[in-house]
């Protein structure tokens, strides 16, 4: 650090500089500042050390954070809270709780730090328990819980807490709107945005991105134009990569490809995220060749594609039936960019080969996977077996799929249709029984016990006692398990 004309930096300037390094996660620069603080003799100051604990915690260098904490001659509540937040951010909730319980005194930020960590880890019951135990709460307390519920898909609880909050800042509104958008409830997201605007709350860039995501899901061109017009009246910089990508994605998915392309071409330089948004839009509208051309332009500009970018282009190749391009990008991903193919990449290739009728190649690719393929890949291949009448593969593929998702009714429906098309009526009969089993499980998970009797009522054939017994003993919940005592003759008939 250079000396200024006013002398050496002091204990008041170091925390501000460390905070900048924390906000941008600049580990190397922060370590240099730490060394400078030691040389200047201010590293033992409680505020300097507290800032360092927070910095190392945010950078997930938890051992360094703990070392700074343990070497502190004096500690205050800020120091303790920074360590709790550091452990929570690192995912070490046991130590986060241990430090929290050891605190001589606690304040709102310390409670909020632990609740946030529990929420991010998916322990919503633990987070809610702590939330209910708080004597005092602020907008951050409510927001971390709203965000936790939203990320877990429990939008009813998120909305209830939002309505209960005595005050709401822009971050709280953002948590709710992004939650609805992320959980595929776009109408609610738009509705909440209108409500927010009517209360004179100015949205930030993150809220606008969530709003555009909701519009993309709705595919409403009029709404997209309204959002575009509204955005032009704000001070939000649409040149930011994530904002521009959302804007391109919205117009593309709402059918205005000309606007999407214009936004992209007006960019001063290429950026990976907007490129992927436009490639995805082109592929959705059946312009796979243009999507490939754009991806190649992106590579020529020197952009380095990541795993998401390769998923986008492989999906475009699959939709466009571009087999050679698909294989080229799949090989390039591994050999040139050292990107390890994920199950999603393999699923894209399997879908591409299956659509083209190259079922054997798709099957061989699945078997060659170093990781266990997910159900989407097997489902794509099974659907192709039906489409192309490939009798030899269907048995093996269906067995693999049912092993992965034994409770999904869709797998049984597809397999039943395949058997029906092959005139294997007996096997189809068994599959219809399996469909009913899967349907009953779905009802039981929803607690719709009354509907279960109707599932039996519409059963057209005698129910297999073996299938029912196995299902009830291994899969179904306790409430439905009592059905095993019911005799088939006692069930209502159509």
Q: CA separation (Å) from 293 to 140, 319, 374?
A: 46, 15, 30
Query: Is domain 169-264 given the CATH code 2.40.50 in the classification?
Result: no
E strand map for 297-386: none
Residue 122 sits at φ, ψ, to 5 deg, of 90, 5
Do the Cβ atoms of 283 and 319 come closer than 8 Å? Answer: yes
Q: How far apart are CA 86 and CA 66, in angstroms?
A: 9
Q: Report d(CA 242, CA 246) in Å as an integer.
A: 6
Give dist(CA 226, CA 242) in Å, integer. Answer: 19
Q: Within 10 A of 186 (CB to CB), how many other CB atoms are there?
A: 21
Which residues neighbour 358 within 8 Å (Cβ) at sequence distance 6 or greater?
323
What 3-state DSSP class applies to 416? helix
Structure confidence at residue 238 (pLDDT):
87
Q: What is the DSSP string of 227-250?
A: HHHHHHTS---TTSHHHHHHHHHH
* Whole-number Å distance between alpha carbons of 204 and 329: 37
The secondary structure of residue 2, as a DSSP letter, is P
Write out the DSSP string of 232-295: HTS---TTSHHHHHHHHHHHHHTT-HHHHHHHHHT-SS--HHHHHHHHHHHHHTT-HHHHHHHH
Classified as helix, coil or strand, 4 is strand
User: Residue 351: enclosing H or E segment and its boundaries?
Assistant: helix 343-355
Helix axes 241-253, 221-232, angle to 10 degrees: 150
Angle between helices 288-300 and 307-320 (to 10 degrees): 150
- Give dist(CA 133, CA 127) in Å, integer: 10
Q: What is the pLDDT of residue 391?
A: 60
CATH 1.25.40 in the chain: give the residue spans.
169-264
Q: Quick one: tokens of 489?
A: 């003759």
Q: 80 with 61: CB under 8 angstroms?
A: no
Q: How high is the pLDDT of residue 415?
A: 55
Burial code (b: 16+ CB inside 10 Å, e: under 16) for 246-267 equals bbbbbbbbbbbbebbbebbeee
What long-range pairs does 353-359 form, CB within 8 A, spacing at least 24? 353/323, 354/380, 354/381, 354/383, 354/384, 355/318, 355/321, 355/384, 356/321, 356/323, 357/384, 357/388, 358/323, 359/384, 359/385, 359/388, 359/390, 359/393
Whole-number CA gyration radius for the chain: 28
pLDDT along the chain (494 residues), means of 10: 56 91 93 92 92 95 96 92 95 94 93 93 92 94 95 94 95 96 95 94 94 94 92 89 91 92 87 91 93 95 93 94 95 94 88 85 82 71 70 66 56 53 48 52 47 40 40 44 38 36
Neighbours of 293 (CB within 10 A): 13
User: pTM (2 decimals)?
Assistant: 0.72
Crossing angle of the two packed helices 359-367 and 391-404, in degrees rounded to 10? 40
Q: 152 φ, ψ to 5°?
A: -90, -5
């Amino acid at each position: 650090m250079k000396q200024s004309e006013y002398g050496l930096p002091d204990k008041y300037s170091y925390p501000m500089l460390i905070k900048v390094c924390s906000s941008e996660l600049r580990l190397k620069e922060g370590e240099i500042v730490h060394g400078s603080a030691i040389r200047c003799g201010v590293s033992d100051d409680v505020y300097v050390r507290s800032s360092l604990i927070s910095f190392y915690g945010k950078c997930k260098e938890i051992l360094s954070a703990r070392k700074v904490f343990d070497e502190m001659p004096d500690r205050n509540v800020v120091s303790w809270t920074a360590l709790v937040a550091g452990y929570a951010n690192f995912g070490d909730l046991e130590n986060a709780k241990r430090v929290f319980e050891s605190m001589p005194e606690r304040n709102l930020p310390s409670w909020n730090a632990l609740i946030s960590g529990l929420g991010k880890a998916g322990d919503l019951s633990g987070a809610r328990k702590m939330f209910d135990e708080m004597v005092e709460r602020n907008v951050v307390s409510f927001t971390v819980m709203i965000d936790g519920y939203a990320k877990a898909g429990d939008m009813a609880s998120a909305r209830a807490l939002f309505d209960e909050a005595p005050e709401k800042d822009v971050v709280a509104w953002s948590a709710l709107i992004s939650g609805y958008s992320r959980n595929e409830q776009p109408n609610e997201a738009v509705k909440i945005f209108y409500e927010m605007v009517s209360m004179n709350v100015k949205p930030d860039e993150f809220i606008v991105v969530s709003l555009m995501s909701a519009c993309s899901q709705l595919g409403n061109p009029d709404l997209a134009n309204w959002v575009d017009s509204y955005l032009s009246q704000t001070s939000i910089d649409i040149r930011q990569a994530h904002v521009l990508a959302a804007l391109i994605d919205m117009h593309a998915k709402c059918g205005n490809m000309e606007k999407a392309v214009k936004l992209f071409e007006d960019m001063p330089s290429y950026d990976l995220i907007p490129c992927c948004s436009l490639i995805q839009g082109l592929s959705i509208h059946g312009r796979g060749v243009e999507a490939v051309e754009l991806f190649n332009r992106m590579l020529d500009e020197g952009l380095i594609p990541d795993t998401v970018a390769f998923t986008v282009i492989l999906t475009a190749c699959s939709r466009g039936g571009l087999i050679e391009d698909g294989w080229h990008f799949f090989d390039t991903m591994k050999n040139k960019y050292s990107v390890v193919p994920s199950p999603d990449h393999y699923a894209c290739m399997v879908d591409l080969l299956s659509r083209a009728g190259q079922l054997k190649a798709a099957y061989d690719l699945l078997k060659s996977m170093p990781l266990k393929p997910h159900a989407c890949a097997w489902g794509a291949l099974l659907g192709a077996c039906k489409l192309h009448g490939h009798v030899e593969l269907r048995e093996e593929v269906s067995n693999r799929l049912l092993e992965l998702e034994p409770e999904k009714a869709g797998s049984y429906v597809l397999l039943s249709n395949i058997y029906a098309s092959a005139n294997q009526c007996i096997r189809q009969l068994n599959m219809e029984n399996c469909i009913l089993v899967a349907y009953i499980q779905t009802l039981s998970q929803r607690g719709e016990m009354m509907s279960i009797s109707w599932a039996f009522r519409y059963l057209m054939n005698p129910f297999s006692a073996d299938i029912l017994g196995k299902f009830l003993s291994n899969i179904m919940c306790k409430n439905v398990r009592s059905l095993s005592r019911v005799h088939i003759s006692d069930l209502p008939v159509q």
